[in-house]
Structure 1
Amino acid sequence: MSGSGKLPPGPVAFPIIGNTLQLNMKNFAQHVEKLSAKYGPIFTIYLGSERVVVLYGHEIVKEALIGLGNEFSGRGSIPIFEKCAKGRGIIFSNGEQWKQLRQFALTTLRNFGMGKKSIEERIQEETHFLVERLRNTQGRPFDPTLFLTHTISNVICSIVFGDRFDYEDKKFVTLISLVQENDKLQRSPWTAVCSGVYSRWVTCCVEEYISEHLNISYSFTVKNQRCHQIFFQEQKNVQSEFNVESLARSTIELFVAGTGTTSITLKYGLLILLKYPEIEGRSLPSPHTQNVRSWGGRGVRNAWTSKWIQTSPLQSLERTMPGLAWQ
């Protein structure tokens, strides 16, 4: 909140520390409920010097997000992310820029198979490479983190760049390494110093891929041509937010958001299967010796008829804790 207009009522705040000492941080939700009963569904508190206007209750939140959606659709200001992203991309942009980039991303992803069978085929193709890597361990203990990260990132690469990469490809390994290091820095005391540098390295790496992709016209499919036509048309518009920098930032966000969450969910699923081996046996196709490649070729829809295969991924999604990715 900014400005000096009349604010909703709230507890008296102290200079610098605000209401920090008055708030019960151990049971913050219950304390907010008490403040709502005293001051009404809209009240003001200060977290240090930061002023916060709280909306409490289903009806008032519904009115704000649905009835006044345009007024409340903005994002809060986080200085470190503003420094790294510079207002570009989908996650940290606001207003008209966010609307344009979001619409372009959704349209492009749908054209390339999001929610359709074509993306299922990309996943199946990459799954075969993952299975081969697992077989090459020959039963030795291993950490699945890197395997899963490479697999998921390659699915995203096949959608964004139009092709997968070899797991030993230097550019691919560098990109994944930079994204992971940049993610670690967000939780480090050195964030303000180093995060901007790593962010620029990642951006430069992705921009190089984008430049190569835009210049290779002979390999365009009909879908690729349509995607490039839209992008170049929007670039000519003076008021448009489309440029290579925003495209690079949006691509990075696809990697960061898609790789981390999916990898954590799959690792949690593997942990559950290790703890309950009897469920693992029931989740396999019948007969158990059936070739994985031929089974995968029949499609996920056929495999989904098994109640155990239906239940296992759903349980992983339900039980994956929100903070697990940060541990």
Structure 2
Amino acid sequence: MDVGDHAAKSGHVPVMLGRVLEILAPAVTFAADDATGRDPVYLDATLGMGGHAEAMLRAVPRLRLIGLDRDATALERSARRLAPFGDRVTLEHAVYDEIPGVLRRLRVPAVDAVLFDLGVSSPQLDEADRGFAYSYDAPLDMRMDRTQRLTAAEVVNGYPPAELARILREYGEERFAQRIAAAIVRERERAPLDSTRRLADLVRTSIPAATRRTGGNPAKRTFQALRIEVNGELDIWRRALPAALDALPVGGRVAVLSYHSLEDRITKRVLAAQAADTTPPDLPVPLPEHEPRFRLLTRGAELPSDEETTTNPRAGSVRMRAAERVREAT
């Protein structure tokens, strides 16, 4: 979830919950009605607080959940939330590009529905010491998995100026990347940058005054860029989505909730390629190996309703795309 102008609030509202159920429930319901009598499997690849997972488990009585999260704290909380569902729930401490290995280990040949709710989760934003939000003063951490070594402090204090500028420009789409990187280098020569407040203040003073008056907090793009770098989010996402598609049988569905254009661009490209008919135009009839493997279930990227963004501001930047497998892989 995009950090945005975050304010800590109690409670957790799953983003686009009704639409996620509408998209994914038919796939698991179809699998539950299969003549083999097998239990349908739902993979929540970014479990978070478990809100989407709980709703799916309640909607489909025989549903089996496999929930992944790289954040051990999120897994502990969702385990408590999902405890009433007993052995229908399997939780794994894993990053979502590890889907093939997780399924092999669990001896699950295929999953009927997959959800990705990308980005930083509500608890990560709400806990000041995680260092994701510029609205708190906290150590510059930003690790989704606290067992990993790289932190945001190591990035801002150790990366060369040119690499810092590239990260801010590419991952934060920050037009003042060069100026901010230069300011970071000057500041860290005096003393290491180790707090979110110092970094946010530095970014604010590094950009033109006129720019500061519009577009929300000027540190937003810098914090996004650092978070993506620390957690390897885009590289992981490029591997994860194809892996999830490979795990779906005919009739299986995937839904993706993304919160910035970089994630959504990758999602759009991967799903469009899978849904494309690649039959050479000079052939009179389509060849099976060139027919689309998936059909798109959304027209472009779907947005949340005005009502949802009013009641749940964290949904404001979400974009949803979904697809269904219609043909086995060749």
TM-score (norm 2): 0.24
- Does 1 or 2 have the higher relative contact order (CA < 8 Å, sep 6+)? 2
Which one has a bigger Cα radius of gyration?
1
TM-score (norm 1): 0.24
The answer to which structure has the higher strand fraction is 2
The answer to which structure has the higher helix fraction is 1
